Amino acid sequence: MTTVAQSEGRPTDTNFQADARRRKWRQAGLAYLYILPAALIMIFITFYPIGYQIYMSFTDFTIGNLRIDTATVLPTLLNPPEFLWLENYVRVITGDLALTNYSFVRILTFNLLWTFVNVFLHVAIGIAIAIALDTKDLPNKRLYRSLFVIPWALPSLVSGMIWANMWHDRFGGVNLLLQRLGLPGDTRWLLETQPFVDISIAGEPVLVLPLAFIAALVANVWLGWPFMMVIATGALQSIPREVYEAAEVDGASKWQQFWRITLPLIRPAMVPAVMIGIMLTFNQFNVIFFVTGGGPLGLTEILVTQGFKLVNPQNLFGVASAFNIIVFFILVVLTLITNRVSRATEPYYA
């Protein structure tokens, strides 16, 4: 009897486990309570608009459907849109839109080329300038680095408008400089419709590059290479000088030192920067919009500028929603690919 009484008065393992679970739930509940305000804000300003955009992508939603009945408790549309299922998606991909010179395949191809050419030049110029400024006895290094960061520090909107004026065919600084040098100074950089690259497959344009591509490319390269220079400079300064001194003793040339020492050692820092550069350039709205406006004849449109123009001035909200959903999935695929490539640097951090 004594043993049974003692065992009944002593807490069991089951009681301990129950108390532990209750404490865990109380702690979790407190944590959820703390994040509830932020979660509600995210629901209203992020998840609800995304969900509503998905709904609009399956309808013929236009500006005429925006009228709301304010007499009801919850806002309701006076003129609900018609449900179209996948028709908007088919129209976007097949080019069945009443837009000048619209081709989804051409815009996507141009967008990808625009992205990778820009990022390649950003990285190449940024690393080259960083190595030049890393020279041991170079005077005024800090001054040069501060000046070179200015293009990156300027808002891209301001830079885009400056370069649009620079490329003006009559009053732009580029043509005026060419005239001073005795070269033809009447090139219509932003208006020339005759492309210097025109690739079509089965009559469908796949890649068309007008002179405006060069104009936008120069503007965006000028805007983006300082970022890569800053990253490369930090990576270069982490490389011990003794490594280069040992390589010189072994008879390695400067070119061999670059390929065998510099490039492998700055790679862990540069690869994430390249991934960021790819995502930012793919969605770079301001440079294209303010330098070329997507012209001439829509030949320099990228996905984000075309999606914007479907809303303003076309007011095709349903089509624009479907267009942007497709762009979202393209970005998901691009992100997965870039993340896969980024893992190649993991051994360098070990």
Provide the mean pLDDT of the chain.
85
Could you report the per-residue pLDDT of 70-99, keeping only the tens digit for each?
666 555 666 778 888 899 999 999 988 878
What does the H/E/C string look like for the chain?
CHHHHHHHHCCCHHHHHHHHHHHHHHHHHHHHHHHHHHHHHHHHHHHHHHHHHHHHHCECCCHHHCCEECCCCCCEECCCCCECCCHHHHHHHHCCCCCCCCCHHHHHHHHHHHHHHHHHHHHHHHHHHHHHHCCCCCCCHHHHHHHHCHHHHCCHHHHHHHHHHHCCCCCCHHHHHHHHCCCCCCCCCCCCCCCCEEEEECCEEEEEECHHHHHHHHHHHHHHHHHHHHHHHHHHHCCCHHHHHHHHHCCCCHHHHHHHHHHHHHHHHHHHHHHHHHHHHHCCHHHHHHHHCCCCCCCCCCHHHHHHHHHCCCCCHHHHHHHHHHHHHHHHHHHHHHHHHHHHHHHHHC
Q: Is the pLDDT of residue 175 over 60?
A: yes
- Does the predicted TM-score (pTM) go above 0.85? no
Q: What is the pLDDT of residue 349?
A: 46
Q: How confident is the model at residue 168 (pLDDT cuts 50, 70, 90)?
A: very high
- Give the domains, in start order, of the chain with CATH numbers: 100-314 (1.10.3720.10)
Q: What is the pLDDT of residue 69?
A: 62
Could you report the per-residue pLDDT of 129-138, keeping only the tens digit for each?
999 998 878 8
Could you report the per-residue pLDDT of 5-64, keeping only the tens digit for each?
444 555 556 666 767 677 777 777 777 888 888 888 888 888 888 888 899 899 988 877
